């Protein structure tokens, strides 16, 4: 599983670009391919985006040039559209209402269908992104004002979106009726702030005040905040449960709950469901740290740091002939031989996707002297691809879609292997029916509705084709 995207928006604060930069810094884990900020001073809009990390994309000089007290920002991990600058966000167009920009986290499953229809009628698209479809729909809308035009566009798209729009005098934030992705609201003095996760507020010392509700649109200007429920929230909702397992930072609050708390519960439940006698619990850092702590606390087996993660990997180019065996995993993790040698270890990780990385990791831990390796996984078996904004391999590439638990254990060469049960995972969150669990169950919350209307954009229930275009 790969990260998705991080969005940020702020209204009414001098130096909006610098504040957006800090917010995006905190959201870096949600996307590392490109980053961008667009600002407005009420008269003009200023834009900068480039490929790379937030720290690589912006300089002091660039931020100074992004004038104004209103801004939106975006960190991208591509789920549709290739990893190219043309697909970097925020994405801005000039249309009959003037300039409008979007920063979008999610994936529209009927985007290809809608795009094909518009192209037939002569629309010209500049990018391969599904997000551009929303801007085209806004530009074509016959509604009278911008809020109604955005609502009109959103009512035509299917899928997941937590999005912020920038206009000269406002930021508009919207979340799909299923609530797949989080979108938090905060307050910084008299300014309104929006962000994918609340950790972006902490760095600004902004106060978390809540979330944009599923099916809600929030309009923030310098002196006004208005909210409209543009669609009934789906019943049940489909909040992505993987936000708690892996995507969100543990210090964030998303979907109204503290991520760290939920992760610890997952670890405790995993220990209750699949106990094993061992000398220590180690995590695969960083996302599994809190799940492993929960497991250790519940089992009474000490938590140790048996794997060290290199945080400064960035982009690495190694010629095949120079590469040590399994260099890709060795460059990221190093086992602590003094901790592991001769010990029976429980290794806690958040998920297993293809299984190839885990196999290398197990071999590395064995090479460092671990005498027994018991693997415990904080998600159920991932058997289906995601179509709602997370980059997963096709269903056929997922190891759990092809092999039984015992076959996976055998392939990974571990003494024991256990995953948390779906019921166990659900018991760790409040309002347990309001979560999407499609990648474990194949029970997709949305495709069926789109198919019925002849808007099929993905083959999630059977085919495993991506819903994107332009790739
Ligand atoms: Fe999240 Fe899985 Fe649902 Fe995708 S399919 S939204 S990763 S729970």
267-302 pLDDT tens trace? 999 999 999 999 999 999 998 999 999 999 999 999
Nearest ligand 1 atom to alpha carbon 1: 7
The domain spans of the chain are: 6-238, 261-311+322-426, 435-468
Classify residue 259 by burial, with Cβ atoms within 10 Å: 0-12, 13-18, 19+: buried
CATH value of 6-238 in 1.10.8.640, 3.40.50.300, 3.60.20.10, 1.20.1370.20: 3.60.20.10
Alpha carbon distances (Å) from 311 to 231, 244, 299: 42, 21, 29
Compute the distance between CA of residue 15 and CA of residue 156 in angstroms, rounded to an integer: 35
Q: Mean of the per-residue pLDDT values for the chain? A: 91
Q: What are phi and psi of 150, to 5 degrees?
A: -65, -45
> What percentage of the chain reaches a pLDDT higher than 70?
90
Q: Supply the DSSP symbol for 373.
A: E
Compute the distance between CA of residue 432 and CA of residue 399 in angstroms, rounded to an integer: 26
Residues marked active site are found at 5
**What element of type H or E holds 171?**
strand 170-175
174 lines ligand 1 (CB under 6 A): no
Q: What are phi and psi of 107, to 5 degrees?
A: -155, 125
Terminal-to-terminal C-alpha distance of the chain: 19
Compute the distance from residue 4 Cα to the ligand 1 centre, in Å.
11
Compute the distance between CA of residue 289 and CA of residue 245 in angstroms, rounded to an integer: 11
pLDDT at res. 460: 53
436 lines ligand 1 (CB under 6 A): yes
For residue 317, give every residue at least 6 positions away whose Cβ sits within 8 Å of its Cβ, in sequence order, or none. Answer: none
Q: Are 103 and 90 in contact (CB under 8 A)?
A: yes
440 lines ligand 1 (CB under 6 A): no
Each residue of 313-334: pLDDT tens digit?
A: 765 565 555 556 677 788 899 9
pTM of the entire predicted model: 0.93
- Residue 155, classed as helix, strand or coil, is coil
pLDDT at res. 245: 96
Compute the distance between CA of residue 299 and CA of residue 272 in angstroms, rounded to an integer: 8
Query: Structure tokens of 133?
Result: 């479809």
Q: Are 210 and 226 in contact (CB under 8 A)?
A: no
Q: What are phi and psi of 205, to 5 degrees?
A: 60, 35
pLDDT at res. 452: 61
100 lines ligand 1 (CB under 6 A): no
Compute the distance between CA of residue 413 and CA of residue 407 in angstroms, rounded to an integer: 10
pLDDT at res. 80: 58
Each residue of 139-175: pLDDT tens digit?
A: 999 999 999 999 999 999 999 999 999 999 999 999 9
**Probe residue for ligand 1, chosen from 438, 440, 446, 466 as the CB with the greatest number of ligand atoms within 8 Å:** 438
Compute the distance from residue 437 Cα to the ligand 1 centre, in Å.
6
pLDDT at res. 465: 39
For the chain, residues with pLDDT lower than 50 are 462-471
Query: Structure tokens of 171?
Result: 């930021």
Alpha carbon distances (Å) from 279 to 289, 341, 419: 17, 11, 20
Is CATH 3.40.50.150 correct for 261-311+322-426? Answer: no
For residue 79, give every residue at least 6 positions away whose Cβ sits within 8 Å of its Cβ, in sequence order, or none. Answer: 4, 5, 107, 389, 390, 391, 468
Compute the distance from residue 153 Cα to the ligand 1 centre, in Å.
24
pLDDT at res. 447: 73
pLDDT at res. 471: 27
Classify residue 224 by burial, with Cβ atoms within 10 Å: 0-12, 13-18, 19+: exposed
Q: Are 192 and 225 in contact (CB under 8 A)?
A: yes
The residue whose CA is least distant from atom 4 of ligand 1 is 386
Q: What are phi and psi of 177, to 5 degrees?
A: -65, -20
């Amino acid at each position: 599983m790969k990260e998705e995207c991080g969005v940020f928006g702020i209204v009414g604060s001098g130096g909006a670009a610098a504040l957006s930069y800090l917010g995006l810094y905190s959201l870096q884990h949600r996307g590392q391919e490109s980053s961008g900020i667009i600002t407005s001073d009420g008269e003009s809009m200023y834009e900068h985006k480039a490929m790379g990390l937030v720290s690589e994309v912006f300089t002091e000089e660039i931020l100074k040039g992004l004038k104004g007290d209103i801004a939106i920002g975006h960190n991208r991990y591509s789920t549709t559209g290739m990893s190219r600058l043309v697909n970097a966000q925020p994405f801005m167009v000039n249309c009959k209402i003037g300039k409008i920009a979007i920063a979008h986290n999610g994936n529209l499953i009927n985007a290809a269908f809608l795009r094909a229809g518009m192209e037939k009628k002569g629309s010209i698209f500049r990018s391969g992104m599904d997000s551009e479809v929303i801007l085209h729909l806004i530009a074509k809308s016959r509604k009278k004002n911008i809020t109604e035009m955005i609502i009109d566009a959103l009512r035509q798209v299917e899928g997941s979106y937590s999005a912020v729009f920038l206009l000269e005098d406002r930021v508009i934030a919207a979340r799909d009726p299923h609530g797949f992705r989080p979108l938090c609201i905060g307050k910084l003095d008299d300014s309104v702030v929006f962000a994918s996760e609340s950790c972006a507020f902490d760095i600004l010392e902004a106060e978390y005040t809540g979330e944009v509700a599923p099916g809600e649109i929030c309009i923030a200007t310098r002196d006004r905040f208005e909210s409209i429920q543009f669609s009934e929230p789906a019943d049940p909702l489909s909040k992505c449960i993987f936000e708690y397992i892996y995507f969100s930072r543990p210090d964030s609050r998303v979907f109204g709950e503290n991520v760290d708390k939920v992760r610890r519960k997952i670890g405790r439940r995993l220990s209750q469901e699949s106990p094993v006698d061992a000398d220590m619990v180690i995590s695969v850092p960083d996302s599994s740290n809190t799940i492993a702590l929960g497991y250790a606390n519940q089992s009474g087996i000490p938590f140790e740091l048996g794997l060290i993660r290199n945080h400064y990997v960035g982009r690495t180019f190694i010629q095949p002939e120079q590469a040590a065996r399994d260099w890709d995993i060795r460059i990221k993790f190093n086992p602590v031989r003094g901790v592991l040698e001769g010990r029976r270890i429980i290794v806690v990780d958040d998920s297993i996707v293809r299984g190839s990385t885990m196999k290398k990791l197990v071999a590395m831990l064995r090479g460092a002297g671990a005498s027994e390796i018991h693997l415990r996984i904080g998600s159920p078996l991932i058997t289906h691809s995601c179509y709602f904004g997370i980059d997963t391999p096709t269903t056929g590439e997922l190891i759990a879609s092809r092999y039984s638990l015992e076959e996976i254990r055998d392939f990974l060469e571990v003494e024991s292997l256990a995953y948390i049960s779906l019921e166990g995972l659900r018991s760790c969150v409040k309002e347990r029916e309001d979560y999407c669990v499609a990648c474990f169950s194949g029970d997709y919350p949305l495709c069926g509705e789109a198919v019925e209307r002849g808007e099929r954009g993905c083959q999630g229930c059977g085919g495993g084709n991506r819903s994107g275009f332009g790739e």
